[in-house]
Amino acid sequence: MSDSIKKLTTLGQSIWYDNIERKLLENGELKSMIERGDIRGVTSNPSIFNAAIAKSNDYDSALVPLAWAGWDAEKIFWQLAIEDIKAACDAFAPLYEETNGGDGYVSLEVSPYLAHDTDGTVAQAQQLWARVARKNLMVKIPATRAGIPAIRKAIAAGVNVNVTLIFSLARYAEVMEAYLSGLEDRAAAGHSIDHVASVASFFVSRVDSKIDPQLPDASNLKGKAAIANAKLAYDLYHQTFAGRRWEILKVKSARVQRPLWASTSTKNPDYPDTLYVDELIGPETVNTVPPATLDAFRDHGNAEMTLMRGVDQAQSDLDALEAAGVSMDVVTQELEDEGVKAFADAFTQLLATIDDRSKNAASSLGPIADSVSRRIAQLEADAVPARLWKHDPTLWAPDGDHAGQNEVKIRMGWLTSPDKARRKLKEYQSFAKEIHDAKIDRVLVLGMGGSSLTAEVFSSLLAAAKVDAPLSLAILDSTDPAQVALAAEQYPPDKSLYIVASKSGGTAEVMANFNYFWKLSKKDGSRFVATTDPLTSLEALAKKNNFRKIFSADEFVGGRYSALTDFGLVPAALLDMDLNRLIDKADWMRFQCGEHVPAARNPGMALGAVIGEAAIRGRDKLTILTDAPLSAFAGWIEQIIAESSGKHGKGILPVPLEPISDVKSYGDDRVFVYLRQTGDLDETIRLLRDEGHPVIESPISNLYDLGAEIYRWEVATVIACSILDINAFDQPNVESSKKITKTKIAEYQNNGKLKEGKPAWKKDGVLVYSSTAIKGASLKTVLNGFLKKAKPGGYIAINAYLPRNGEMVDMLQELRVSIRARTGNAVTAGFGPRFQHSTGQFHKGGIKDGLFLVITLEPENDMDIPAEGLTFGTLIRAQALGDYEALIDAKKKVLRVHLPSVAGVKSLMDALK
């Protein structure tokens, strides 16, 4: 608190802040201003909200789902405004309690359209009082002729009132009369009046702005009218709140109606910028100031008792004005009329802005906009927001499905992951400090799917943002021997820490990689950390081998929902991310998706409604476009959507990072998501919308926004699954390929060979296996014949058991383009066995019209897996065979192309040109 404000407060005047905007509430600045003692209340009006909403994107995360729900502009405004007012009231609540209701108030104005409607004003005042439901709210009512009786009725109803747009002494007297009468009415009805508060907002600088132009240039009355008018108003206040009538109310603990000096910014640059603060200081008053005036007074304001000085001179100044032909009655009535009109015009402009933005947001959904609106209304009617938080299993598993309902009940811990993360924050930070102090500068996460993808997302975004992390971090989610060898080269034991991450504790790929690095490290437990559920085999292994640390993960959170648990937050801590900030963002989204938030206002629920309703209407290919820095997050979205939704012949197929095509070539099975940071794809998005495709834009301005986005997509995923009547928490088809793989490995360990079957076609070392009959003298003919089986609205999945590196990524992207051009289908591509923990469930259990191109490779250099009796090359081949045969068992059309070397990938590309 500055010395000037501190002294002002001791003189009995409270500074309120004539401004409110969402970013101040969300970034903690308003709370800091309160804690510093700079401000003791907040006022708002339509002009302030217009500036806050129209001139920023701060409200888009709330406005967009409301627009998707079909709300009109005024309904959206009141939702947004009430959210801000509630948050501000909560921020001021400690001050309100500390001062016993003396300060800590936040003002919200009734619609300016009601300025001449007494009954409408009273009704809305009571409605706003009920909706905000905070005892430190003040409802602003204009001091028009129609407003005066509304003030009395609102006070009698127990509503705190900030009376606004007072310009004349006569009207001010009416305002005080209305307040006193309202208190008397309430007391006569047997209600307490001790908690009813009111301020009378007397507008100041506008008076000088109105009168000064009417005076001669050399007039010594310029700049005098406003302060004189206010000083006489203060004198009138003292006369009113004295005597028998007031004493009777005071005995009943009535509060005075403090004068509040409003419009105190200096409009005339020739006047001091703190003029209307310095000259209006006195006990039992409030001055509400805009940001610039607050900064000025903090810096060079003069806090002296000035209100009671020169009252006689004030009267003389007003008399002199009358003598000069300036009628205060005329001036103040004109100011009242202009004030009402200005607020109404600002409100009209505000609603027009909201209407434009909401129409733009709704139109982004194209042909599904109306059905999405109905779906969101249905979610609200079905009480889905509350049922989600009550862990109601019938959202995903019907009565009678006891196994499905039990799976739901034990997998809902992700909803409160931010709370649990805060409780473990010191553990994360202490461990990270230990590793940094030990000068370990490399971390390799050995994990699959949800156990490792979040670490990859954080690491890649930090690199894209050119943030200097204290160590490098990568994941190994492959059993390809070349990829394992490269990881060992880049993350040697003498420089690295290995995080062995597995929910179940027995993931085959993870254990194979652990065994390899365990031997490589000469069994040095100090180089290993385990992240796993309690009582798993991995936990036992870690204890036995004296791992440096064991993180016991939340067993009530499934792997694909574990981003905000140990699996994501331990790597984040090691990367020196600000965990508080990350969790704050997640918590912010959790609040937005809370139990009592309407479905239309819930970002996660609205997003789930869009992608779920789109799938029902045949748009089941969720095509994820990203700006380059966010590409890794597309993979995270892919795994949570695909693994959660792809069951029972239904689901939503994520199509991440598919090379962009001519927008006219996309079918009506698409819905697009744009993860936006740099805006590189803005023109593409515009073209997609113009073509009628639904487009969802997700702005992610920085790394920490991911905390919110992760939580939003988790909510969206489970809601979309509920809409599709799918259990979001089970994975009924995942075990099929695992069982076949285990059988293959057992056979190999017994006889030294993998059972692969006879190829249907072979040439130049290329072997082709197929679930259906194939013909052709060349690989090109074979592939063309297979792709002709593609159906409209279907998809092609490239399951590539290849080393995941830049060269291979580029080649697969080229393959996707070639195949899409031939078939018109969406084309996905995944590296095996990584994709098995992401889209594997969808491939076996999801929508039916898919073709699967499985690519396997003869390893150039293989390596033994210690203690397992096989090589990495054998393991990845067994996994590919397990995947291939599981797809056949699921009645899918599959073609497996086995290549003799990495160079064979090029021949495959040539065959598809």
Q: Which sequence positions are flagged as catalytic? A: 140
Residues facing residue 829 across a β-bridge = 798
836 Cβ contact partners less than 8 Å away, ≥ 6 residues apart: 448, 734, 737, 879, 883
In terms of Cβ atoms closer than 10 Å to its own Cβ (0-12, 13-18, 19+), residue 400 is: exposed
Distance between CA atoms of residues 858 and 389, nearest Å: 50
- Residue 626, SS3? strand
Counting Cα atoms < 13 Å in the Cβ hemisphere of 748 gives 22
Element spanning 389, H or E: helix 384-389
Distance between CA atoms of residues 592 and 581, nearest Å: 17
**Which is nearest to 428 in space by CA: 319, 292, 534, 565?**
565
- What's CA 442's distance to the chain center, in Å? 31
In terms of Cβ atoms closer than 10 Å to its own Cβ (0-12, 13-18, 19+), residue 881 is: buried
DSSP annotation of 797 = E
CB neighbour burial string for 786-822, b if at least 16 within 10 angstroms, e if fewer: bbeebeebbbbbbbbbbbbeeebeebbebbbbbbbeb
Residues facing residue 462 across a β-bridge = none
Distance between CA atoms of residues 376 and 105, nearest Å: 35
In terms of Cβ atoms closer than 10 Å to its own Cβ (0-12, 13-18, 19+), residue 489 is: exposed
Contact present, 740 and 886 (Cβ < 8 Å): yes
Distance between CA atoms of residues 816 and 825, nearest Å: 10
In terms of Cβ atoms closer than 10 Å to its own Cβ (0-12, 13-18, 19+), residue 75 is: middle
Distances (CA, A) of 888 to 253, 705, 770, 785, 849: 81, 41, 9, 18, 13
Contact present, 50 and 24 (Cβ < 8 Å): no
Q: At 326, which amino acid appears?
A: V
| Residue whose token pair is 């910028």 | 273
How many C-beta atoms lie closer than 10 Å to residue 478's C-beta? 24
Sheet containing 528-532: order of strands: 472-476, 442-447, 496-501, 528-532, 549-552
Q: At 54, which amino acid appears?
A: A
**DSSP-assigned states of every residue in 697-719:** EEE--STTHHHHHHHHHHHHHHH
- Residue 155, SS3? helix
